[in-house]
Amino acid sequence: MPVLPGAEPYRHDGGEVGVLLCHGFTGSPQSLRPWAEHLAAHGLSVSLPLLPGHGTRWEDLRATGWEDWYAHLDRELWQLSERCERVFVAGLSMGGALALRLAAKHGDRVTGVVVVNPANRVHGLAAYALPVLRHLIPSTKGIASDIAKGAATELGYDRVPLHAAHSLRRFLRVLDGELPQVTQPLLLLRSAVDHVVPAADSARVLSRVSSTDVTESVLEQSYHVATLDHDADRIVEESLAFVDRLAPRVGKEGTAPVG
């Protein structure tokens, strides 16, 4: 199936500091594209891949699982680290969860982690019935475009395939056991109002990781897809400051930054 217009992956070869960005479940690179382009404009190397089963039609997602999504990102991380001295991982929602697993598994290869409204579990009573429901009901209502900013929309599926949702639930349970392996500096940004991922998920992540350099930032004006919402500029600014603190780069005038 052809990729939907706007859902294409994005890459930029910049300097020796790289950022791997991960989009969310049923979403696409479109939700992180402005963030990626701002990072690239500041001289960073950026990789924003399209996860398997995403960006085409929801039926394609049904045939994939978390192992496919993670393996794709794992390969992207290796490729980015081959040309960059320092690599950061970042993501939105499920993408944040995948970024945390990359950090847990790759140790010193990952310099820092930035997550926006990271998912930690699939919520609701129906989640416990997914092992059976997925064989009876192919899909349910979509979760895309939880955005406070009226003019903004997320390019994502209008249906959630239950086979893939079941796989996501399994992945998040695996990740929860691995979170103590995350030791890298962590910047976690969460929306004060989120209709997809509750604040309890961020709290769980913060309570489970072993990182000692942790910053939590509350986004007061955005819903779940904060990267396209009123706080999008703030996400860019805080993530750039985080990267520059941990991996100082040569300044615009060709001089090393002071301090």
Both tokens of 132, joined, read: 């059976």
Instruction: Provide the 10 A C-beta neighbour count for residue 165.
Output: 23
Residue-wise DSSP of 133-179: HTTT--EEE------SSTT------SEEEHHHHHHHHHHHHHHHHHG
Candidates 28, 31, 47, 93; catalytic one: 93
Q: Residue 1, annotated ligand binder?
A: no
Task: Mark whether 194 is an active-site residue.
Answer: yes
Residues 121, 194 contacting (CB under 8 angstroms): no
Judge whether 108 and 184 are in contact, CB under 8 Å: no
Annotation says 239 is catalytic: no
Describe the crossing of helices 162-178 and 66-83 by its angle, rounded to 10 degrees: 60
Candidates 191, 202, 224, 229; catalytic one: 224
Looking at the DSSP bridge assignments, the partners of residue 48 are: 10
Active-site residue flag, 224: yes
Residue of 146, 194, 201, 231 marked catalytic: 194
Residues with catalytic function = 93, 194, 224
Binding residues: 25, 94
Q: From the annotation, which residues make up the binding site for substrate?
A: 25, 94
